[in-house]
């Protein structure tokens, strides 16, 4: 499991690589929360394009960050095109509260459009 970060303005882009299960989730959570406390982070995009597997532990991680970011009036978006993971995001109800894009670029563009208004 690898976690890579990049920034676009006040957007933190979290790129997850590998298989996100309960075993990986502690490490992933610690890494993300270390970046989230930086004052530059207001919005988060989870880029799941390089995940080959995710189960409900991933749902827990995304929902946890969603709650934290909502408290500071930030936005969360997810980039994903893996059919299995999309099915999981769909059934968990995440797709009702978080916008899902087919890739990270689209998510960034949309979020910059919204936050700049």
Of residues 6 and 52, the one with the C-beta less far from other proteins: 52
Q: Can residue 25 be called a binding residue for other proteins (CB under 8 A)?
A: yes
Of 49, 55, 95, 112, the one binding other proteins (CB under 8 A) is 55
Of 8, 10, 17, 29, the one binding other proteins (CB under 8 A) is 29
Q: Can residue 37 be called a binding residue for other proteins (CB under 8 A)?
A: no
Distance of CA 20 to the CA centre of its chain: 12
Of residues 64 and 115, the one with the C-beta less far from other proteins: 64
Contacts (CB under 8 A) with other proteins, residues 82-111: 83-84, 87-88, 91-92
Distance of CA 104 to the CA centre of its chain: 10
Contacts (CB under 8 A) with other proteins, residues 4-23: 19, 21-23
């Amino acid at each position: 499991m690898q976690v890579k970060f990049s920034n676009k303005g006040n957007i933190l882009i979290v790129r997850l690589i590998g298989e996100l299960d309960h075993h990986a989730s502690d490490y992933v959570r610690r890494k993300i929360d270390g970046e989230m406390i930086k004052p530059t982070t207001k919005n988060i995009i989870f880029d799941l394009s390089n995940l080959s597997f995710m189960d409900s532990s991933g749902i827990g991680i995304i929902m946890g960050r969603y709650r934290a970011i909502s408290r500071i009036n930030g936005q969360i978006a997810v980039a994903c095109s893996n059919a299995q993971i999309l099915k999981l995001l769909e059934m968990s109800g995440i797709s009702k509260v978080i916008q899902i894009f087919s890739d990270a670029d689209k998510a960034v563009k949309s979020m910059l459009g919204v936050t700049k208004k």
